[in-house]
Amino acid sequence: MTETSNAEIHIGVSIDGAGRHPGAWREPGADPQRLFTAEHTVDLAQLAERGLLDYVSLDDSFRLQSDRRDHVRGQLDALLTLARVAPQTTSIGLVATVTTTHTEPFHVSKNLATLDFVSLGRAGWLVDVSTTEAEAFHFGRRTVASPADLYAEAGEAIDVVSQLWDSWDDDAVIRDVTTGRYLDRDKLHVTNFEGRFFSVRGPSITPRSPQGQSIVVVDAVNELALDVGIERADVILVHPASITEAAEMRERIGRGLVAAARTPEDVSVLAVIDVQLADSTAAAVAARARLDAWAGPLPGESLEHIGTADALADLLATWAEAGVVDGFHVRPATLPDTLNRFVDDVVPLLQQRGVYRTEYEGTTLRDHFGLERPTSRYATTEHRGSR
């Protein structure tokens, strides 16, 4: 967590579909025919990178989002889409939602490690669960578990994945021609995870990735998710409706981190904010009314800003300077329009106020969050004799 006197904030942005609002795809600038192309997401990620944002994120699930003909339906795999983005960006973090309910942690681990390889250290994992009966029917393996079990399983999945990420020491590949060995197998580790939901032997088939441990993000959509975040996440997304609520939430997370024997400085708390920008407040309100008329209102469980860039910059800086959050997870109502305005208008104002970076200081997502690259929990440093 940053000092209040030097409040440099972190900003991530959701770049799903045509924007957060269900009517956004009908906006003049939306180009809805391109929603399922790589170019659509690449353009948005490059735009966010121009704004020096910490990361872009993509949502994901195993269900069709809506049953309405006037809503966007269809969704590409988030992790693969961000892998497609990686070679066409250089600095911005790539945070993919990967669910834990119907997936195998062994696959999740190697897929995220590979996203980290292809992005040279920019991978993040937004952990989510599958709560619906529809998703359960798509797999046909199990009935819907209780929320408590779904999140307990997600917690275990994070443990398995994290252990597998450490199951190769960084220097495991030795290429020793004299002994004919490609690998020092003492530097690979059988993880032998045994939990309530999984038993996974390991090691991973994929070597340790550039970040060692990719950034784990948990969206605290409920108490159970918040607990998973406190126990295991690097970044926790919270949903306070006011600065007072944000302060209370921070306090609570701080206590939880101490109770979990974690270092509060290692965890960033970002407030989720839905954003709609225009040249004037009246214009923003009018734009929102048009979207609502098209497709119904945006489900509102989060902080929302409908107005000008100036007012948004002021809100973000005020919260940051008060020290109630480490930054924000921005969900633009419309894409690319709202993100364009955010990058062109809001970011410079934050920079002038001294609360936002003017260049990327590192190359990895861990760098952006000021986190060191961890050594593997299993790392063997002593010299091991050759066989």
Partner 1 sequence: MSDKPRKQVHLAAHFPGVNNTTVWSDPESGSQTDFSSFAHLARTAERGKFDFFFLAEGLRLREHRGQIFDLDVVGRPDSLTVLSALAAVTDRIGLAATLNTTFNEPYELARQFATLDHLSNGRAAWNAVTSPDAFTGENFRRGGFLERSLRYDRAGEFITATRALWDSWADDAVLADAESGVFVDDGSIGTFHHGGDEFAISGEFNVPRSPQGRPVQIQAGDSDGGRELAAQQADVIFSRHSGWDDGRAFFADVKRRLATYGRSPEDLKIVPAAVAFLGDDREDALEKAAHIRRQQVSPQGAIAFLEQVWGRDLSTYDPDGPLPDIDPDISAEITRGRVRHEQDSLSVAEKWRHIAETKHLSIRELIIEVTTRSAFVGSPKEVAHLINDHVQGDAADGYILVPHITPHGLDEFVDKVVPELQDLGVFRTDYEGPTLRDHLGLTRPRSSIAAGVSSRHWSLA
Residue type, 86: A
* Residue among 255 and 384 whose Cβ is closer to partner 1: 384
* Residue among 103 and 351 whose Cβ is closer to partner 1: 103
Q: If you search the block for the tokens 């450490």, which residue do you land on? A: 166
CA angle 163-166-168, nearest 5°?
130
Q: SS3 for 270?
A: strand
- Is residue 133 exposed (0-12), middle (13-18) or buried (19+ Cβ within 10 Å)? exposed
Q: Which two tokens stand for residue 104?
A: 């195998």
Indicate which single residue of 46, 76, 145, 360 sits in contact with partner 1 (rule: CB under 8 A): 76
Does residue 264 touch partner 1 according to CB under 8 A?
Answer: no
* Residue among 84 and 331 whose Cβ is closer to partner 1: 84
In eight-state DSSP terms, residue 36 is T
Provide the minimum distance between the beta carbon of 85 and partner 1 in the complex, in angstroms, as a whole number: 7
Binding mask 281-310 for partner 1 (x = CB under 8 A): -------------xx---------------
The beta strands (E) that lie in the chain are given as 10-14, 55-58, 93-99, 123-128, 173-176, 181-183, 193-194, 199-200, 215-219, 235-238, 268-277, 303-307, 327-332
Does residue 144 touch partner 1 according to CB under 8 A?
Answer: no
Rg (CA), the chain: 21
Indicate which single residue of 57, 61, 276, 338 sits in contact with partner 1 (rule: CB under 8 A): 61
Q: CB within 8 A of 228, min separation 6: which ones? A: 127, 151, 154, 155, 158, 218
Provide the minimum distance between the beta carbon of 166 and partner 1 in the complex, in angstroms, as a whole number: 14
Does residue 29 touch partner 1 according to CB under 8 A?
Answer: no
Q: What's the rounded Cα separation, in Å, for the pair 65 and 351?
A: 37
Indicate which single residue of 7, 15, 86, 154 sits in contact with partner 1 (rule: CB under 8 A): 86
Indicate which single residue of 2, 14, 57, 81 sits in contact with partner 1 (rule: CB under 8 A): 81
Strand partners of residue 176: 181
What ranges in 10-91 are assigned the alpha helix state H?
38-50, 78-85
* Residue among 58 and 226 whose Cβ is closer to partner 1: 58
Footprint of partner 1 on residues 346-385 (CB under 8 A)?
Answer: none
Footprint of partner 1 on residues 37-56 (CB under 8 A)?
Answer: 37-38, 42
Indicate which single residue of 4, 199, 222, 281 sits in contact with partner 1 (rule: CB under 8 A): 199
φ/ψ region of 123 (left if φ > 0, alpha if ψ in -120 to 50, else beta) reads beta
Footprint of partner 1 on residues 204-223 (CB under 8 A)?
Answer: 204-207
Q: SS3 for 251?
A: helix
Q: Which two tokens stand for residue 185?
A: 């197998």
Footprint of partner 1 on residues 87-126 (CB under 8 A)?
Answer: 87-88, 102-107, 110-111, 113-115, 117-118, 120
Strand partners of residue 217: 126, 235
Indicate which single residue of 1, 30, 236, 269 sits in contact with partner 1 (rule: CB under 8 A): 30
Q: What's the rounded Cα separation, in Å, for the pair 152 and 94?
A: 25
Contact at 8 Å (CB) between 48 and 330?
no
From the list 132-140, 244-252, 284-292, 338-346, the region that binds partner 1 by CB under 8 A is 132-140
Does residue 79 touch partner 1 according to CB under 8 A?
Answer: yes
Indicate which single residue of 51, 93, 124, 203 sits in contact with partner 1 (rule: CB under 8 A): 203
Provide the minimum distance between the beta carbon of 139 and partner 1 in the complex, in angstroms, as a whole number: 6
Virtual CA dihedral for 54, 58, 61, 64, nearest 10 degrees? 150
Indicate which single residue of 179, 261, 383, 385 sits in contact with partner 1 (rule: CB under 8 A): 179
* Residue among 176 and 251 whose Cβ is closer to partner 1: 176
Provide the minimum distance between the beta carbon of 266 and partner 1 in the complex, in angstroms, as a whole number: 27
Indicate which single residue of 3, 5, 6, 175 sits in contact with partner 1 (rule: CB under 8 A): 175
Report the 10 Å Cβ neighbour count for 309: 20
From the list 21-29, 216-224, 265-273, 338-346, the region that binds partner 1 by CB under 8 A is 21-29
* Residue among 161 and 346 whose Cβ is closer to partner 1: 161
Does residue 149 touch partner 1 according to CB under 8 A?
Answer: no
Strand partners of residue 236: 218, 269
Footprint of partner 1 on residues 310-349 (CB under 8 A)?
Answer: none
